[in-house]
Structure 1
Amino acid sequence: MYDVSKDFRKFYKNCVVLQSEKQQNLRDKKDLNIKRLEDGLDLYNQENDTHYAIAEKRVQGSMAMATVVQNDSNDYDIDVAIVFDQNNIGDLSPLQARRLVCKALEKKCGQFKVTPECKTNCVRIQYADGYHVDFAVYRRFREEESSEYSYEHSGGSKWTARDPAAITKWFQDEVKDNGTELRQVVRLSKMFCKSRNGWVNMPGGLIQSVLCDEVFASEYSRIDEIFYHTMLNVRDRLQESTEVYNPTDPDISLLTAQNHYDKMDNWLSRLNDKLEKLSVLESDDCTYKEAVAAWEIFFNHSFWSELGTSLCECASIQKSVFSDTEEYIEDLVSINDCYNVDIKCQVEANGIRKQFLSRFLETYPQFYKLIPHGMKLHFEAITDVPNPDAIWWKVRNVGEIAERKNDIRGQIEKKWWNYKTENTLFGGPHFVECYVIKNGECVAMKRISVHIGEASI
């Protein structure tokens, strides 16, 4: 198979993985709406002389599985499990429990054009720009005081046994067994399914994750080969059967309506058509131009069409001299973003006392809101995680200067630090992230932008 793995990795990193600042935007929306729910529930309790309280909060779906991809339509879904103790909500039916969450949100979501909606499986908050937050409502109980919690979901008309962490744990375990390439393949598959505006009736991320895992082409080493052969395997699997079962309960189908089967048929039809265009990759006389053109047809993305010009090829060669050392937290530990963390930044330099970054930029407007060279930056993580095991840090240098100096960094430093000190050495839109680790999971994370200009102190 013709080797375009170098370009494929660039495509994956630059065009498929959701940019760090947008991931932070999703986390901010998640945190904001959980706060709205908690505050609204307090108001509801005051008005109705009740004592409802949220026992657990857990991120679910593509955010928890770290398979979110770039999407020009901003149609990002943020899935959050809200868990009550059974003895707290008493005999509330599933519908009554969802309505309770909906009423609590209504008290703090008055500025939305669309009020929170009580749906069959969740309570939804819809943003005007396409984002939506889905609160799935659960209750938990123990058979005995020393036993682990059992969970039930409020979908439909009756409480149904379901662990809100089960799917995420299943996927994290599969990534550990198969390698991070599995997550890459799932993201690339989702990118394909979103590649045409007219493809509105395609299977969701969970179904794609289950099938990609089931037929994952682990015998290959290059990511372009792994993805190509996994897609061939998915096509063959769909030709045999379009049925897909819950990986944590094989007696339950993930296809519960005719529309779901229609989506599987569409996936098969479109894979058949576009994989045929990729067959040129297996030809002994395939050229670079033909390979790039085939991937452009498959993904329908400008990245590949731009590679078709000699100018872009030259630019690609020039940029390839730097070492891509960036690491991603989802490749190291499971994500359970259920707590909060904030990053405080202070600056200092010769003749300038230590002060918060915001105050410094207000005091020295001549730097045009950019941090000058020759300063020290002191970062501190403030978190509500009880007794965290560690706080890890990542510093990522971005821009042409960082690439020219071969100093993009991006490695995750795995030490117990709630603080970090850096120097401003060269310009660029850099960023710093911290990750709070507890019980082998990342339970909180935060990103702060560090825009360094050309001026110096």
Structure 2
Amino acid sequence: MYNLSSKFNTFYNDHVVLSRDEQNNLRDKKDLNISRLKSGLQEYNTENETSYSVVEIIEQGSMAMSTITQNDQSEYDIDVAIVFDKDSIPERTTSVKNIVVDALKRKCKQFKTEPEALTNAVRVEYADGYHVDFAIYRRYKNEEDEYEYEHCGSQWRLRNPRSITDWFNTKNTESDGNIRKVVRLLKMFCKSRSGWLMPGGLVQSVLVEECIQSKDRLDETFYYTIKEIRDRLNTDKSVNNPTDTSTSLLLTAKDEQKVKNLSVRLTNYIKKLDVLFEDECTEDQAISAWNDFFDHSYWGGLVTETAESRSLAKSASSQYRVDIVAVVEWKPSIRINLKTIGGRVPKNRTIYFNAVPNFHDFDAVLWEVVNTGDECGLDKGHTQTGLNVQETTLYRGTHKMICRVYRRGTLLCSDEVKVVIK
């Protein structure tokens, strides 16, 4: 296998691993929202003569397992378990979630999206793409005077809020840290095309732990592990909870489809790495292969500039120019400039596009929507005309809105914006 380990390690260290500052930023957001919850609960208790209190706070998910990766859309999930004593809260799960939502709403009034009760958590969402999920648990002591925990979903279910993190950290240590590295890299692949519907971090972690192939070099460790995952998924697409192997992690048809998507995409994209095993493989070919696989700006920046990119650069210096102003109707009374939204735009929002050419003697403005991703299906795009148009966000993925300005049938200039929909 062509040895590109120096550049591969640079990619991993500089573009995959989340910086210490960003990790601290995420934990600051976590701590801030925990403080909001506690303060809101105190206010709720005073008004309702109750005494609800969080007795344990447990970091969960990719933050606890240190598998969060860098994300251009700042779409970071912060998972926190909050634990109540069983005998201090209502029995109905919806009642408990509503109490938590009420407490958070009291302290999150400046948010554009209110805290929301989901099936398995209560979510606080930031406009810049971050969100904090509070998973609710209750605890009680068993006959051995040890705490048992139950998770608040559609009903109360026995679940230890620490078990997944403990499992992952133990297995990662046994692999000399290779599992965490490969999970991070696999996450980068799975999110490399925003329209893809791919499995979440836990499913990826289970597959990596099962299939890890530790080698001397990181690029080899990653390649041979994903090859093993590909082969495993070709024969068996089930994925079970590692701390309770009788329970599947694929609870819906959508979950199963995501695993099928991973299987297909690993099969297709691993083929693009075949050149790495050719005797005459050059460094440029190796860089191009990893660029095709990860579709990341780091690898793209290493690829020799093409004639097409030079042509685009030349056309960009033309005297004619058009700028696109895009505004999202976040709520009926709130509009936000698309550029100021750090994360993805929710579905079913209206976006108003305005073309602003730097000249006046044009006679036609054509807009083209280019849709990508799994959800759009056959709806790959359409066109509109006029200086001002509007569109509705419908499909997850990174889509483009292209504006072209013409004079007597000749294209004088164009511009485009990305619209990333969650």
TM-score (norm 2): 0.71
Alignment of 1:247-326 (within 5 A): 247-309=242-304
Cα offsets for 1:81-133 (capped at 9, x unmatched): 000011222x4222111111111111111111211101110101111111111
User: Whole-Å Cα distance in 1 between the matches of residues 110 and 97 of structure 2?
Assistant: 21
Alignment of 1:293-372 (within 5 A): 293-309=288-304
- Secondary structure (helix, strand or coil) at the match of 1:134 reads strand
Other-structure match for 1:356: none
Matched AA of 1:161: L
Question: Over aligned residues, Cα RMSD in angstroms?
Answer: 1.3
Alignment of 1:150-165 (within 5 A): 150-156=148-154, 158-165=155-162
Cα offsets for 1:381-424 (capped at 9, x unmatched): xxxxxxxxxxxxxxxxxxxxxxxxxxxxxxxxxxxxxxxxxxxx
Other-structure match for 1:23: 23
Other-structure match for 1:176: 173
User: Whole-Å Cα distance in 2 between the matches of residues 147 and 185 of structure 1?
Assistant: 40
User: Whole-Å Cα distance in 2 between the matches of residues 222 and 259 of structure 1?
Assistant: 35
Cα offsets for 1:243-302 (capped at 9, x unmatched): 100000001100000001111111111111110010111122222111111111100112
Residue 32 (structure 1) aligned with residue 32 (structure 2): yes
Matched AA of 2:97: R
Cα offsets for 1:159-185 (capped at 9, x unmatched): 100000000000000111011121010
Other-structure match for 1:234: 229
Alignment of 1:421-440 (within 5 A): none
User: Whole-Å Cα distance in 1 between the matches of residues 161 and 206 of structure 2?
Assistant: 17
Residue 50 (structure 1) aligned with residue 50 (structure 2): yes
Matched AA of 2:145: S
| Equivalent of 2:207 in 187, 207, 211 | 211
Residue 4 (structure 1) aligned with residue 1 (structure 2): no
User: Whole-Å Cα distance in 1 between the matches of residues 86 and 269 of structure 2?
Assistant: 50
Other-structure match for 2:99: 100
| Equivalent of 2:238 in 243, 265, 269 | 243
| Equivalent of 2:163 in 158, 163, 166 | 166
User: Whole-Å Cα distance in 2 between the matches of residues 154 and 198 of structure 1?
Assistant: 31
User: Whole-Å Cα distance in 1 between the matches of residues 301 and 42 of structure 2?
Assistant: 54
Which consecutive unaligned segments of at least 5 residues does structure 2 have? 306-422
Matched AA of 1:43: E
Residue 63 (structure 1) aligned with residue 63 (structure 2): yes
User: Whole-Å Cα distance in 1 between the matches of residues 66 and 171 of structure 2?
Assistant: 13
Matched AA of 1:4: L
User: Whole-Å Cα distance in 2 between the matches of residues 54 and 305 of structure 1?
Assistant: 48
Cα offsets for 1:397-454 (capped at 9, x unmatched): xxxxxxxxxxxxxxxxxxxxxxxxxxxxxxxxxxxxxxxxxxxxxxxxxxxxxxxxxx
User: Whole-Å Cα distance in 1 between the matches of residues 115 and 10 of structure 2?
Assistant: 39
User: Whole-Å Cα distance in 2 between the matches of residues 271 and 57 of structure 1?
Assistant: 37
Matched AA of 2:201: G
Other-structure match for 1:128: 127
**Which shifted more, 252-261 or 285-294?**
285-294
- Secondary structure (helix, strand or coil) at the match of 2:246 reads strand
- Secondary structure (helix, strand or coil) at the match of 2:51 reads coil
Matched AA of 1:153: H
Matched AA of 2:96: A
Matched AA of 1:148: E
Matched AA of 1:297: D
User: Whole-Å Cα distance in 2 between the matches of residues 20 and 260 of structure 1?
Assistant: 32
Matched AA of 2:255: H
Report the Cα offset of residue 36 of structure 1. 0.2
- Secondary structure (helix, strand or coil) at the match of 1:139 reads strand
Matched AA of 1:213: E
Matched AA of 2:170: D
User: Whole-Å Cα distance in 1 between the matches of residues 31 and 70 of structure 2?
Assistant: 21
Other-structure match for 2:86: 86
Report the Cα offset of residue 25 of structure 1. 1.3
Other-structure match for 2:139: 140
User: Whole-Å Cα distance in 2 between the matches of residues 259 and 308 of structure 1?
Assistant: 36
User: Whole-Å Cα distance in 2 between the matches of residues 67 and 94 of structure 1?
Assistant: 30
- Secondary structure (helix, strand or coil) at the match of 1:138 reads strand
| Equivalent of 1:225 in 220, 223, 228 | 220
Residue 190 (structure 1) aligned with residue 193 (structure 2): no
Report the Cα offset of residue 309 of structure 1. 4.8
Paired residue total: 305
Other-structure match for 1:328: none
TM-score (norm 1): 0.65
Report the Cα offset of residue 71 of structure 1. 1.0
Matched AA of 1:105: L
User: Whole-Å Cα distance in 2 between the matches of residues 291 and 172 of structure 1?
Assistant: 33
User: Whole-Å Cα distance in 2 between the matches of residues 20 and 31 of structure 1?
Assistant: 16
Report the Cα offset of residue 147 of structure 1. 2.7
Matched AA of 1:208: Q
Cα offsets for 1:333-366 (capped at 9, x unmatched): xxxxxxxxxxxxxxxxxxxxxxxxxxxxxxxxxx
